[in-house]
Structure 1
């Protein structure tokens, strides 16, 4: 491949990854708007999100199954794909939607952005991947940033009902999502990125639909145009498009570069929360965000030297 073509691929990889990260960052704002505007509960909104996402992932899974020369996948690997999907887009999404009922969208995104550090810990303790000195400093900076931002939120929301519970739910969401990422990092080379993404999403959708039926039963949903509108927007703009954008971008620029570019997420969410939700922006939040983005960037940066 010529240098010009390589640069073009790199440019498109950057654009797709950046767009995917910004679109993913709209999720918290849309969820908060839905809670405020249409009075919907967490599992119903999550069900709508996946209901309108499923057709796209079914189409991708069907298209992928018709491609010749695909790598055969063992039953054990399929089991891990299902587990990853349930962990990443069912469990973590459920904790996330619950937490967003009690804390701001900006704080949600900052706490959630602990997932790269949790992924590093999982890889270190379970898969014996060493942490470099740079990554150690990155983890320290990231947690310092979260602490500063959280302190600032406490000055505003202290005493607000469910504040600490909501924070805990997002914290658990970050842990479960880190588990998904650690697992996907081992399954994608075996299954393929597009196929993994589609089938993991389908597995998560199955878990969410079952959860909804157990909690609400058949016919328990009050369908309104406003609720459906939020479900469609969450499905297309905060789920389907960003998931495929990030997958396509990662193919072109690599997972480490994609992780660095995705650090725009907290900044994007804070800006959107300010303009669309009227959430205040304060000094500790800005400082904490800068430190979190710096820490995540250091974690994602691929050193030219081996990690020891």
Structure 2
């Protein structure tokens, strides 16, 4: 049973849903670009992640408080302490650990390659769903996995020749980020239904913020927060433009269009990252890398579409 505030209806203007979904995917695509620009300013991953979560935290606190007041006003029960703790743990997995691994990996890989690796997380959802949750594994998942990683292998071979062993380190970190986010997706499903999507998202992000700020406090001196004005602007951009706004845009899209349509729109994200990386970072792509990117996006897009139809 879903919360009243999360009920899905059939709105009169589905085109708005496609616009919201595309805008959210484009903003998510900008994350790797902004992170790379911040690294060029001398900001380390721990500091940038802490700043990102600190700047986004007030928005999630406000939305979470509104969601709680709305539940009380409608006379619905508030989530139990146990559900809150479970939501916090799962949120830390998906929005702190996965994010930190992604941030760390971006020190060693290109923004577009990192985004393509992250884009494979639906395959890990299928694989770990079978291994850990007893969900049936389908040949389509294995075929999509093989095709996607065949495409990534093409890009990896091009990058490792040019950049050396750092690419291996970055690829492993971003792959672990994709695995962490896949596990988050599996663990979050039942909590989303029991807590409600808006409140769960806020609890998860607040938990991730506590973890990120705590990690910074342990690993870095307070003086590390004294970044340049341009670095501060980039931290605000990754917090608001690549975190808060796309989160709410994706939620708005899901209220207006199907999950299937929203999943297909998300394939815009790696393409947008590649274009933005060329414009703002001066990255280039060889024919082999472009072929690998097409193979990854086609295989994951096909798997996502077939999985959505099956549901």
- TM-score, normalized by length of structure 2? 0.90
Q: Distance in 2 between matches of 1:238 and 1:125?
A: 32
Could you tell me which runs of 5 or more consecutive residues in structure 2 were left unpaired when the two chains were aligned: 1-8
Q: Distance in 2 between matches of 1:231 and 1:216?
A: 17
Change (3 A) 1:181 1:9: farther
Q: Distance in 1 between matches of 2:104 and 2:11?
A: 42
Residue 144 of structure 1 is aligned with which of 150, 153, 157?
150
Deviations 1:62-115 (Å, cap 9, x if unpaired)? 111110234532222212211111111111111111111111111111111121
Change (3 A) 1:227 1:6: same
1:110-149 matches, cutoff 5 A:
110-149=116-155
Change (3 A) 1:218 1:303: closer
2:71 counterpart of 1:65? no
- Matched residue, 2:280: 276
Residue 49 of structure 1 is aligned with which of 47, 52, 60?
52
- Matched residue, 1:290: 294
1:152-163 matches, cutoff 5 A:
152-157=158-163, 159=164, 162-163=166-167
1:223-262 matches, cutoff 5 A:
223-262=227-266
- TM-score, normalized by length of structure 1? 0.91
Shift of 1:172: 0.8
Change (3 A) 1:117 1:253: same
2:95 counterpart of 1:89? yes
Q: Distance in 2 between matches of 1:100 and 1:277?
A: 13
Shift of 1:252: 2.5
Q: Do the aligned partners of 1:29 and 1:272 also contact (CA within 8 Å) in 2? A: yes
Cα RMSD (Å) of the superposition? Answer: 2.0
Q: Distance in 1 between matches of 2:244 and 2:79?
A: 24
Q: Distance in 2 between matches of 1:66 and 1:156?
A: 55
2:181 counterpart of 1:177? yes
Change (3 A) 1:74 1:100: same
